[in-house]
Structure 1
Amino acid sequence: MQGLELTSASSKAMRVWSDGRVEEITERYPLEKAYKLTASGRLVALVSLLPTLLREFACGFLVTEGLSTPGSIRSVSVDGLELKVEVEDPAALDSKLSFYRAVSRLIRAPCSSLSPETLLLPLEAKVREVKLSFKVTPSDVWSAISWLRKSKLYRELGMVHVCAIAKPGAEAPMVIAEDVGRHSAVDKAVGYLVLNRIADRELMLCVSGRLTGDLVAKAARAGIPIVASISGPTSTGVEIARKAGVTLIGFARGARRLTVYTGEERIAI
């Protein structure tokens, strides 16, 4: 986590109260920058990011989108507004990029022309079943979720998403990643595992936003078996989690309750 001066901007604003009072304030908000992500010279994506954990985002994005594996990433660097990744087999990347771009065009098509089954196809692509069978307690989940609110950006600005990856029972998470988008926060957190060559996947991935199919698919591609949020899932989130063998937990708030949608066998009660 970096200081607010590096991750936020500010300007004059007007605050209006219900009793008619008006005051001039200086308001801070997340600093967003546009980056180009390339892999072995190939354009992968144009993305808008909070300028933190950029190397982690680059390799995490490739892994969670099914474009590469952790062991295939040779190097990653930041050159101004370009995030550069070198992969082991550029030819294999070409075929995956062709599919990825076709899927992107499919998702952008008008939703009314696509069936639910068609929409699930790109989400399920390259998602293998996560077969780890370890267990966590509800207390493990609440403890991991509590770390989301320890993000300074989240507390002081309230306009960013946070992702934490934690080992059950650990006193602190392995990584806390923030971004203006919940998907990018997940990419950064997964990228931290990749860059630090952390192979252990008996982990929980905790997020501050809703659990949609594409976000659950990212966790599954990274091999993380438990995904939890302070918010809830969508129908595609539940369906992808069920097919991928992911334990999906929503509304984990305040050490009082949580809702387990899939993978109940990993919850020790």
Structure 2
Amino acid sequence: MIEEITVIRMTDGESSEAVEEVVEEMPLALYVNGRWVQTAMISPSMIKEFVIGHLFAEKVVKACDEIESIQIEENIAKVLLKDPLGIVNLKKVVLSGCGGGSSFLDESKLPRINTEFTIDWRMASESMSRVLGSEIHRRTRGVHSVGLFNKEGEIVIADDIGRHNALDKVIGYAIGENIDFKETFVGVTGRISSDMVLKCVAVEIPIILSKGAVTSLAVEIGKITGMTIIGFVSQHGMRIYTGRIS
């Protein structure tokens, strides 16, 4: 995840050679049923979790038994679905995230999240602090971090150069652990945009919070689906855009 490189550091007009830590980045070509789906620029960790989470969050699959196999070889991930036509009619939408990613999610077909799960302001603040405490984030300042939590505490935190990728990774991890998403929430280091909310809705995560801002379409989707969206979370306060906290 971290690589050391030699740089020229400038301080007060003076230059010197130094070693800096930078986050690694790699292309991952994703093939489903032999068809190229996309090439994602990701950080080289939790790759299988990313693939599984991406398939679920994009509604390519809805259950683990729809996946026949996943094969990862260096920069290529090959997924075989039991349904040979499972990827044929899906349409992509360009995302707002860095790198020009794409999504198969359809905003016109939004389900409601039916759960009574809530958190209080203290849990929101403490969880956000956990996400911001990621060592790789602290050392490089070059990744986004996403944490998945329940009322017992942290389930998993993932780091990636892309916030969408990091969210896919925690979703994929939780699926492997048979976690009930309706009793969880996520904290993210980046802004909450519509595509991040849609991924949560796809697996029925009812709450998303961030230290950063929220977009107007994210709020609109939150209202339609019953999702709780909280921005600008800190130790001193937060802004609740949709939903509620206890």
TM-score, normalization: structure 1? 0.82
Corresponding position: 1:9 with 2:3: yes
Q: Structure 2: 5+ residue runs without aligned partners? A: 97-103
Among all aligned residue pairs of Structure 1 and Structure 2, give the percentage whose two residues are the same amino acid: 29
Aligned-partner Cα distance in 1 for 2:112–2:80: 27
Corresponding position: 1:42 with 2:35: yes
Tell me how many residue pairs correspond in the alignment. Answer: 238
Corresponding position: 1:156 with 2:139: yes
Q: More displaced, 233-242 or 47-56?
A: 233-242
Between Structure 1 and Structure 2, the one with more strand by share is: 2
Aligned-partner Cα distance in 1 for 2:86–2:16: 58
Which residue in 2 is equivalent to 1:183? 164
Shift of 1:160: 0.2
Which residue in 2 is equivalent to 1:250? 231
Q: More displaced, 210-219 or 61-70?
A: 61-70
Which residue in 2 is equivalent to 1:259? 239
Shift of 1:193: 1.4
Corresponding position: 1:54 with 2:35: no
- Asked if structure 2 preserves the Cα contact closer than 8 Å seen for 1:145 and 1:229, the reply is yes
Aligned-partner Cα distance in 1 for 2:194–2:29: 25
Which residue in 2 is equivalent to 1:115? none
User: Which residue of 3, 13, 17 corresponds with 1:24?
Assistant: 17
Give runs of aligned pairs for residues 80-229 of structure 1, distance below 5 A.
80-96=74-90, 99-100=91-92, 103-104=93-94, 124-168=107-151, 170-171=152-153, 173-229=154-210
Q: Which runs of 4+ in 1 moved over 3 A?
A: none
Aligned-partner Cα distance in 2 for 1:81–1:183: 18
Give the counterpart letter for 1:69 in structure 2. K
Residues 234 and 188 (structure 1 numbering): CA distance in 2 closer, same or farther, change over 3 Å?
same
Aligned-partner Cα distance in 2 for 1:56–1:79: 15
- Asked if structure 2 preserves the Cα contact closer than 8 Å seen for 1:123 and 1:214, the reply is no
Aligned-partner Cα distance in 1 for 2:157–2:71: 21
Shift of 1:75: 3.1
Shift of 1:122: 5.8
Corresponding position: 1:79 with 2:62: no
CA-based RMSD? 2.0
Shift of 1:144: 1.3
